[in-house]
Chains A and B, each alone.
Chain A
Amino acid sequence: MSLVEVDEIELRFGGLVAVGDVSFQIEEKNVVGLIGPNGAGKTSMFNMITGFYKPTKGKIIFSGTNIVGKKPSKITQLGMARTFQNIRLFPSLTVRENVMSGMHSKTSQGIWGAVLRTAKQQKEEKEILEIANDCLSFVGIKKYAGRLAKNLPYGIQRRVEIARALATKPKLLLLDEPAAGLNLSERKELIDLILRIKEHFQLTVLLIEHDVGLVSEVADKIVVLDYGRKIAEGLPNEVLANPRVIEAYIGKDDD
């Protein structure tokens, strides 16, 4: 069964077609890789699924509801969580506070609960803290919990972002170039982490990546975009052998 159905989606900025007529499906509990050269429309695609851009045409069905036109916060509440290509943490808050933000959409206390410290509010606060700590442990950064996000090295910040996304208890996790800027050993740890996340949380993952090698190691299916169009879709080894994909990545052989 597919968790996400992207149906003939189009995104125009004035006359420029950033994404045109793309359809694909993300099956439940799969890792789907979305690849393509620079400017292929990967991040635009991503921003449409998460509600940051509104597509000019088409539908995006997420577990049965059309989410086109919904606010990002609303879509997160429906069970989607994302990371950003150029890490967007809450810089002057601690790592723990960062991760606690994930639980926002799963809790409900307002001003009365906060001021009166009702039993329900205290229970929620405890739960938020527990989940945040669990997620921190899971990605292996519990010892940084009290540090300010902005003072941490890049690789750790990436993990904070993933922990924060996991804390929303998503059905679908969207990772936007998680390997960007990581060194070899961090990259290996990331592959391991993505596989562990899929295994442990039974999650569906959509992964945008430049690093084709990384994608082929973790993805069950790959979708390739080029100039805003889908040019291939299928199993990793099939897709990477596809002449159109090779052409998009390294250019056409003129001989």
Chain B
Amino acid sequence: MNTPFLKNKSFLYILLFIVMIAIPLITNRYWTDVASTAMFYILLALGLNIIVGYAGLLDLGYSAFFAVGSYTTGILTTQFGVSFWISIFLGAIFATVLGVLIGIPTLRLRSDYLAIVTLGFGEIIRLIANNSKFTGGASGIYGIPKPKIGSFVFQSNVLLYYLMFIFVLLAIFVIWRLGNSRVGRAWKYIREDEDAAEAMGVNGLYYKLLAYGLGAMFGGLAGSLFAVKMSAIAPESFGFMQSAMILLAVVLGGIGRISGVILGAVLVILLPEAMRSFSDWRIFLFGVLLVLTMIFRPNGLWPSKKETEEMDDPEPLKGGSKSVVS
């Protein structure tokens, strides 16, 4: 396959890259914070995009994995003095394991049932966090230390922004390559028609679990970063609204497409900020904008590629090659 990610529009991507690097240098602390929040959302939306966009599994409880990453880092760094780097690693692993465990029974269900089960699962995780001693109950965990390498501490918001930016770049790289591979195609086949995919030799349950586990892993990573960025976490950050906002980011920009998902995540963060002067009206206006988007651009603001007509093979009926003979 050709690689449109590198060839086409490369100018646009380079420009975007420079802007992202420059944001903390040219703006104030407030906008750096907004940009950092956008980074979480990009990471979360990219992860959820594997589940919803690639494999077509509607997950309404994605914030559960976000919570697992956050609490893993929160608990391990404050109570056990574990380094952030080990905690983010473990957070990602716990989230993946949880994703697979919850996936084994639920992924046998068809999509609408799956949505209900994941919705409940998200709430269960939030309630556990709210009512357990080791998670700090309703007040959560505070005083989470900043990550450090040797004696170098990621103390400032700017440094944390760059740390998250690196994770986002890594995520884009990994998820883009996965999407354009045999694994990514298997997900899309399942999304399009599970029975037909199965008939083509795609093991549906295995690939759905893989999508769920990997998506959960990115949720866990984002959670760990969230914990150190905020330095305090509480159960209300991980409720259904959070799951809904992440899902919104995926759907708004252009489901299944990385650039679309990133755009969606940025808009979900930026629009409420930009409309701050409307005070109480902003959420209402945001809602109106969403409804209009869904009416006029049902495939998202930046939908997937258009089809191409190929005329490079004018000889239709003769031919074929021996390589297919089994």
Contacts and interface: CB of A to CB of B under 8 A. Distances in A.
A, B: real partners: yes
A114 B178 contact: yes
Interface string B305-325: 001111111111101110111
A138 B183 CA distance: 26
B118 to A, nearest CB: 22
B319 A138 contact: yes
Given A115-B177, A137-B320, A141-B316, A73 B210 contact: no
Given A50-B199, A76-B201, A115-B174, A143 B311 contact: yes
B185 A101 contact: yes
Q: Which of A73, A81, A92, A202 has the most CB of B within 10 A?
A: A73
B208 interface: no
B320 A71 contact: no
A168 B200 contact: yes
B320 A200 contact: yes
Given A111-B210, A142-B310, A101 B323 contact: no
Interface in A108-152: 109-111, 113-115, 117, 121, 124-125, 128-131, 134-138, 140-148, 151
A105 interface: yes
Contacts of A94: 307-308
B138 interface: no
Contacts of B323: 130-131, 134
Contacts of B199: 50, 52, 72-73, 76, 81-82, 84, 88
A114 B195 contact: no
Given A114-B182, A143-B310, A143-B314, A71 B210 contact: no
Nearest to A96: B310
Given A93-B188, A125-B182, A134-B324, A111 B198 contact: no
Contacts of B317: 140
B214 A111 contact: yes
**Main secondary structure on A side of the interface with B:** helix
B17 to A, nearest CB: 21
A131 B196 contact: no
29 contacts: A72-B195, A73-B203, A76-B200, A84-B196, A90-B188, A90-B189, A93-B188, A93-B192, A104-B186, A105-B202, A107-B182, A110-B183, A113-B181, A115-B174, A129-B1, A134-B324, A137-B315, A138-B321, A140-B317, A142-B312, A143-B313, A143-B316, A144-B310, A146-B309, A147-B307, A148-B307, A166-B324, A169-B325, A169-B326
Interface of B: 1, 174, 177-178, 180-186, 188-189, 192-193, 195-204, 210, 214, 304, 307-317, 319-321, 323-326
